[in-house]
Amino acid sequence: MPDTQFANTPPRFKGKVITDELAGSITRVEELAYILKISEVMTHEVKTLRPQDTMRNVMDALREYRISGVPIIDESKNLIGLVSTEDLIKCLANQDIDKCVQEYMTTDLVTVNSFDHLTEALKLFAKTKLGRLPVLGVKGELAGILTKGDVTYGMLRALEHDYQEEEVRKYRASHLFEDIESTRTSLILRYDIQRYNFTNGGAASSNIKRALVRLGANQQLARRVGIAIYEAEMNLIIHTTNGGSIHVEIEPQQISAYIWDEGPGIKDVNLAMQPGYSTATEEIRELGFGAGMGLSNISRCVDEMELNSDIGKGTHLTLKFFLKGEDIMGEGHLNKKENGNDA
């Protein structure tokens, strides 16, 4: 049965424009975390050991390769444990340097997937205080390892990547609104999102953000839209029955996003808006998703948010971004120049 409490009067939530001066600002680093995949920044060639190896082998590996941890694999090359510098120190304190690795390795592992976005790894780093995370491939095999150093280096490389070519694309796209004569010009982007398709998770939001930048949106606006759409996109992947759709309508003075699905619906919308609340299954949580911050993160990025959900029928989410001043795209910039107000 539909949840009649919200069926006729969908709640509205007012977000705030996030500035770089605020503690919660959407920085360039945060933006990259929503774009880069873990596979793009992780260390692919990983030194591994077997459980029957000794802690002396661990000490030699840490010293030779200048690493802080060694994944332990079985005969089938499946990840079964991890030995860190801390484990080695404990071993040395016990004078057990020739004991087998399996006696000191950590088996309760926190892992990430190679196809996850970097933001998922950053959440785990912050939550667990770990210095490294084993990375699993599509089939669950050990694909690499991710350290905080890998994150920093990967972001630096991304900042340098393909700058000149992107500038050319931005120049072509930014004239789109100015070159078309109409009473009201809109560009509509449509994306179909499949349930549990984590491999392509975040692709739609990344493409939307890139399109906005090329159309002339400033970085702060593009980041706000990109992060809001990313969270909505991941909700479609995680919580729906058959996935859903994302439509984004771009106009010079407004951006509207419409996200809907035919999933199970949200029983209590107000409760769902609370940070940390999640209905994700244990399976999804084991994959590192379902932290319950999606709707909360969306609300802080948008100017207006409307959420309508019927139990057994689905959920419809509308997001609005109102463009003023420097945010105005296309002919908005042209009008400013004609009025002599171009800064």
Instruction: Give the Cα separation of 305 and 301 in Å (integer).
Output: 10
Is 229 among the domain residues?
Answer: yes
User: Among 23-27, 240-244, 286-290, which range has the highest average pLDDT?
Assistant: 240-244
Q: Is the pLDDT of residue 25 over 60?
A: no
- Report the pLDDT averaged over residues 263-289: 62
Q: Which amino acid is at 226?
A: G
Is 327 among the domain residues?
Answer: yes
Residue 191 CB contacts under 8 Å (≥ 6 apart), including other chains: 204, 207, 208, 233, 245, 246, 247
- Number of structural domains found in the chain: 2
Residue 296: pLDDT band by 50, 70, 90 thresholds?
A: confident
Q: Both 47 and 76 in a single domain?
A: yes
Angle between the N-to-C axes of helices 219-239 and 294-301, in degrees from 0 to 180, rounded to the nearest 10: 160
Q: Give catalytic residues, as residue numbers.
A: 231, 235, 285
Q: Which CATH number characterizes residue 10's domain?
A: 3.30.565.10
Q: Both 228 and 278 in a single domain?
A: yes
* 175 or 72, higher pLDDT: 72
SS3 content of the chain, % helix, strand, coil (to 5): 40, 20, 40
Last-in-domain residue among 155, 176, 201: 155
Q: Is the pLDDT of residue 283 over 60?
A: no
- Report the pLDDT averaged over residues 164-185: 63
Q: Is the pLDDT of residue 12 over 60?
A: no
Q: Is the pLDDT of residue 282 over 60?
A: no
Instruction: Give the Cα separation of 101 and 81 in Å (integer).
Output: 9
Q: What rounded mean pLDDT belongs to the chain?
A: 79
Q: Both 169 and 149 in a single domain?
A: no
The predicted pLDDT at position 331 comes to: 43
Q: Both 173 and 234 in a single domain?
A: yes
What is the tens place of the pLDDT at every residue in 66-95?
988 999 999 888 999 999 999 999 999 999
Q: Is the pLDDT of residue 40 over 70?
A: yes
Last-in-domain residue among 155, 187, 203: 155
Q: Is the pLDDT of residue 22 over 50?
A: no
Q: Both 228 and 82 in a single domain?
A: no
- Report the pLDDT averaged over residues 2-29: 40
Last-in-domain residue among 102, 121, 155: 155
What is the tens place of the pLDDT at every residue in 186-217?
889 999 999 989 888 889 999 998 888 888 78
Is 343 among the domain residues?
Answer: no
Q: Which CATH number characterizes residue 91's domain?
A: 3.10.580.10
Instruction: Give the Cα separation of 21 and 43 in Å (integer).
Output: 33
What is the tens place of the pLDDT at every residue in 98-140?
999 999 999 999 999 999 999 899 989 998 988 889 999 988 8
Q: Both 12 and 130 in a single domain?
A: no
Q: Both 124 and 204 in a single domain?
A: no
Q: Is the pLDDT of residue 341 over 50?
A: no
The predicted pLDDT at position 240 comes to: 87
Q: Which domain holds residue 117?
A: 40-155
Q: Both 306 and 189 in a single domain?
A: yes
Q: Is the pLDDT of residue 339 over 50?
A: no
Q: What percent of the chain has pLDDT over 70?
A: 74
Q: Both 14 and 45 in a single domain?
A: no
Is 173 among the domain residues?
Answer: yes
Q: Both 222 and 242 in a single domain?
A: yes
Q: Both 191 and 331 in a single domain?
A: yes
Q: Both 146 and 237 in a single domain?
A: no
Q: Is the pLDDT of residue 276 over 70?
A: no
**Least confident residue range of 24-33, 161-170, 222-231, 300-309:** 161-170
What is the tens place of the pLDDT at every residue in 306-335?
998 888 888 999 999 998 877 776 543 434
Residue 299 CB contacts under 8 Å (≥ 6 apart), including other chains: 13, 15, 273, 305
Is 22 among the domain residues?
Answer: yes
The predicted pLDDT at position 235 comes to: 87
